[in-house]
């Protein structure tokens, strides 16, 4: 099945936001919740009063951080090239306001084939739900979508939703995660490709999925 849509994660995949995450986790713990990570908090408490308090607190930090974001792998140039040839959408566990500000700063908001922000933490509690919503919004078969992210959870979400995926693992310390397990082996078995950067991800997309952007 030919690719018709490209879906990107934002933070960690195309940019890095300088957020003080230990401070955010400390703020979450003052709420007396029973979680130890940010994504775990969102998944468990999404839609509750405590979720919205943390969301608003973090949104302010994100909006300020956009002014000092780090663009990864010349992502703005990559995305501007891609969105001349194929529809591109975005999902993120950031706030919608922060995500829109990021795309505007990169100049991607003016791209002809930019589908916009398809899901944020306001409307989805997990990455799995975000990918599902994005595919439904794009109104295509899951097999026509390639999702590029930077976390194992991105790969899991892609597998569950039946979309193709490439995971950008920058500065990978080791493929070996235990005495008996290797992450690259496990991901290859389920059809998830690993790239070191966005440029390599595009080359993989070209070689394995027939994506041409030149």
Statement to judge: residues 76 and 151 lie in one domain: yes
Return the bridge partners of 114, or none: 88
Inside any domain, residue 50: yes
Statement to judge: residues 192 and 146 lie in one domain: yes
Statement to judge: residues 58 and 145 lie in one domain: no
> What's the mean per-residue pLDDT of the chain?
94
For residue range 106-160, list pLDDT tens digits in order.
Answer: 999 888 899 999 999 999 999 999 999 999 999 999 999 999 999 999 999 999 9
Tell me how many domains the chain contains: 2
Inside any domain, residue 112: yes
- The pLDDT score that the predictor gives to residue 110 is 87
Cα 131 from chain centre: 9
Distance CA 184, CA 191 (A): 10
Q: Which residues form the domain of 36?
A: 21-68
Statement to judge: residues 141 and 200 lie in one domain: yes
- The pLDDT score that the predictor gives to residue 171 is 87
Inside any domain, residue 97: yes
Statement to judge: residues 31 and 111 lie in one domain: no
Statement to judge: residues 49 and 76 lie in one domain: no
- The pLDDT score that the predictor gives to residue 151 is 95
Distance CA 194, CA 162 (A): 17
1: number of CA atoms within 13 Å, CB side? 13
Inside any domain, residue 214: no
Statement to judge: residues 10 and 105 lie in one domain: yes
Statement to judge: residues 42 and 123 lie in one domain: no
Cα 208 from chain centre: 21
Choose the final residue of a domain: 31, 52, 68: 68
Statement to judge: residues 84 and 117 lie in one domain: yes
Inside any domain, residue 145: yes
Choose the final residue of a domain: 68, 84, 105: 68
Statement to judge: residues 61 and 91 lie in one domain: no
Percent over 90 (pLDDT), the chain: 87
Statement to judge: residues 74 and 180 lie in one domain: yes
For residue range 35-81, list pLDDT tens digits in order.
Answer: 999 999 999 999 999 999 999 999 999 999 999 999 999 999 999 98
Using an 8 Å Cβ cutoff, are 154 and 147 in contact? yes
pTM exceeds 0.85, yes or no:
yes
Statement to judge: residues 130 and 180 lie in one domain: yes
């Amino acid at each position: 099945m030919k690719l018709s849509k490209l879906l990107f994660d934002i933070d960690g995949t195309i940019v890095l936001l300088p957020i003080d995450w230990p401070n955010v986790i400390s703020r979450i713990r003052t709420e007396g919740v029973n979680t130890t990570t940010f994504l775990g908090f969102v998944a468990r408490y999404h839609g509750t009063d405590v979720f919205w308090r943390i969301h608003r607190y973090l949104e302010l930090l994100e909006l300020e951080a956009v002014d000092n974001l780090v663009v990864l792998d010349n992502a703005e140039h990559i995305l501007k090239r891609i969105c001349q040839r194929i529809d591109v959408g975005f999902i993120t566990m950031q706030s919608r306001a922060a995500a829109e500000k990021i795309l505007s700063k990169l100049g991607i908001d003016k791209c002809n084939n930019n589908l916009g922000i398809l899901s944020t933490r306001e409307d989805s509690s997990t990455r799995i739900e975000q990918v599902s919503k994005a595919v439904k919004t794009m109104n295509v078969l899951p097999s026509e979508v390639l999702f590029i992210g930077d976390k194992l959870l991105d790969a899991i979400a892609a597998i569950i939703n039946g979309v193709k995926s490439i995971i950008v693992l920058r500065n990978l310390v080791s493929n070996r995660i235990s005495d008996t397990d290797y992450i690259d082996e496990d991901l290859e078995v389920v059809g998830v490709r690993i790239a070191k950067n966005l440029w390599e991800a595009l080359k993989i997309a070209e070689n394995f999925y027939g994506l041409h952007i030149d």
